[in-house]
Amino acid sequence: MRKSAVQQTGALQMSKTNDYWLQAPDAIYVHIPFCLRKCNYCDFTSFPGHDMQMFSAYVEALCNEIRTIGSWSERQFPHQTIRSIYLGGGTPSLIGASLTDRLIKEIGRHYPLSIDAECTIEVNPGTAQKKDFEAYAAAGINRVSIGLQALQPSLLQLLGRIHDADAFADAVMSARQAGIKNISADLMFGLPGQTNKDVKDSLGFLIENRVRHVSYYGLMLEPGTPLADICDRNPDMLPDDEAERCQYHIIRDDLARSNYLPYEISSSALPGYQCRHNLTYWQGLPYYGFGVSAHSFIRGFRRANTSSLKTYLRLFAANGQAAWMKQDNEEASVFSGSAELEKINRVEAMKETMLLGLRLTNGVSYSVFYERFGITMESVFGEEIIGLKQRGLIVSDQERVSLTEKGLDLANQVFMMFV
């Protein structure tokens, strides 16, 4: 049987060092897994109902993990510079400004920050006040991501959100008054009962509030969540595929008319306000991840921390040293308590470069692919590229391969070619 183009590259795995893997990570993700209440659609690693005592214990463990990895990274990457920090969750704003400031300071002690570093915190409306935003700004946070999801009270109630539109507007105003101008908002579409007018009204509300960046996500019904159970019992509530795609294009088109340019399959931004941190992921570059269930990609290893809060606290409550071990013949330290640990080989890296990079409006550059792997994209994925072009899902020019408008709607079919 004839081998695929990717299988044929297997012999190349030892022929070239993936130098881009050896570069220092320049992005840090910190997971804050606490929330006031789980949203009806959420299956992320998050824990409602905890208090400041738990928040403090968790931040102590986080600081120990940051410090432990920092002592290792200072030796491995003596000239590293961090260009983005992202505090995600959960609801990171729930732990309060004082603990947030402590986290940022601990990161700064071990990871030199560039003078223009992007530092983001996710905020749910109503969980941070003006004084909190002022403290965030003083700590060095210069970007906030605020979850609106929808403007309409009925949709917010269905999603299990605990805010309303006024709380979102108040959060935006408080952030701006504190000097944080780089404000992103999240929007959801394809919701049960959501109309095109609902989408346009929600979008208009964001534009009126002068946010700089919008992320938009179609509803994913995760098994076991309350919203999935509701929709299982009432399947007619959900829009069909055509209606869902129509809402997606309404968002992208309306944003573009207001100068929010799409740079990624689910993100548009005013010029100069693309999310630097997320671009690290889509470009397949190394990054650190701290906290429960956080992922890292360092030295060709992808690792995930345990998703158990109890286990994480046990591993890092003291000083974190016991949670680390040395990989044989590798210049990488990894968690002995990791839930996952995977060495990404050369073939897998080429696939991921395509799968992740095609999310970007600019697609995947031929020259970047060759610089990484010492082989042309066409020699590895020629059959896949030809097939996808014939189906009208991708387009190529002399510089790059990228999704077409049709490819945006059938992106999962494109991505499956590189899994």
- DSSP for 52-113, written as a single string: HHHHHHHHHHHHHHHHHHHHHHHHH-TT--EEEEEEEES-GGGG-HHHHHHHHHHHHHHSPE
70: its two tokens: 């920092």
66: its two tokens: 């940051």
Backbone angles phi, psi at 264, to 5 degrees: -150, 160
The pLDDT, as a whole number, for residue 331 is 43
Spatial distance between the Cα atoms of 85 and 106, rounded to a whole number of angstroms? 12
Nearest in space to 146 (alpha carbons), one of 109, 107, 173? 173
Count, in order, helices (H) and strands (E) of the chain: 17, 19
Query: In this predicted model, which residue has the larger pLDDT, 341 or 5?
Result: 341
The pLDDT, as a whole number, for residue 332 is 44
Residue-wise pLDDT for 32-82, tens only, equals 999 887 776 777 778 887 889 999 999 999 999 999 888 888 888 988 999
| C-alpha pair distances (Å), 124 with each of 33, 63, 121, 235 | 13, 24, 10, 29
- The answer, yes or no, to whether residue 218 has pLDDT greater than 50, is yes
Nearest in space to 351 (alpha carbons), one of 17, 24, 9? 9
Q: Are 350 and 9 a contacting pair, CB within 8 Å? A: yes
The pLDDT, as a whole number, for residue 320 is 52
Query: Residue 259 has what DSSP assignment?
Result: T
Nearest in space to 74 (alpha carbons), one of 36, 50, 107? 107
- What mean pLDDT comes out for the span 88-93? 90
The pLDDT, as a whole number, for residue 15 is 37
> How many residues in total does the chain contain?
419
Question: Please, what are the domains in the chain?
Answer: 19-282 (3.20.20.70), 349-416 (1.10.10.920)
Query: In this predicted model, which residue has the larger pLDDT, 406 or 227?
Result: 406
* First-to-final CA distance of the chain: 20
Spatial distance between the Cα atoms of 169 and 110, rounded to a whole number of angstroms? 36
The pLDDT, as a whole number, for residue 40 is 66
- The answer, yes or no, to whether residue 409 has pLDDT greater than 80, is yes
Residue-wise pLDDT for 160-180, tens only, equals 888 788 999 999 999 999 999
The overall average pLDDT reported for the chain is: 87
The pLDDT, as a whole number, for residue 234 is 79
- The answer, yes or no, to whether residue 18 has pLDDT greater than 90, is no
Identity of residue 207: I
- The answer, yes or no, to whether residue 269 has pLDDT greater than 50, is yes
Nearest in space to 203 (alpha carbons), one of 162, 143, 253, 270? 253
pTM: 0.91
- What mean pLDDT comes out for the span 249-257? 97
CA 180 to chain centre: 21
When pLDDT is cut at 50, 70 and 90, the band that residue 338 belongs to is low
- What mean pLDDT comes out for the span 25-29? 96
- The answer, yes or no, to whether residue 138 has pLDDT greater than 80, is yes
- What mean pLDDT comes out for the span 180-186? 97
Query: Residue 284 has what DSSP assignment?
Result: T
Q: Are 282 and 357 a contacting pair, CB within 8 Å? A: yes
Spatial distance between the Cα atoms of 298 and 84, rounded to a whole number of angstroms? 16
CA 399 to chain centre: 26
Question: Strand, coil or helix: what is 251?
Answer: helix
- The answer, yes or no, to whether residue 323 has pLDDT greater than 90, is no
When pLDDT is cut at 50, 70 and 90, the band that residue 344 belongs to is confident
**Residue reference for tokens 């929010």:** 260
The pLDDT, as a whole number, for residue 72 is 85
- What mean pLDDT comes out for the span 122-128? 89
Residue-wise pLDDT for 272-319, tens only, equals 999 999 999 999 999 999 999 999 999 888 888 989 999 999 888 765
The pLDDT, as a whole number, for residue 8 is 43
The pLDDT, as a whole number, for residue 227 is 78
Q: Are 42 and 90 a contacting pair, CB within 8 Å? A: no
- The answer, yes or no, to whether residue 189 has pLDDT greater than 90, is yes
The pLDDT, as a whole number, for residue 333 is 47
Identity of residue 349: A
The pLDDT, as a whole number, for residue 237 is 81
How many other C-beta atoms lie within 10 A of the C-beta of residue 417?
A: 19
Among 136-145, 185-194, 199-208, 332-341, the least confident range: 332-341
Name the helix (H) or strand (E) containing 353. Answer: helix 346-357
The pLDDT, as a whole number, for residue 1 is 33
Q: Checking phi first, is residue 177 left (phi over 0); if not, alpha (psi -120 to 50) or beta?
A: alpha
The pLDDT, as a whole number, for residue 322 is 44
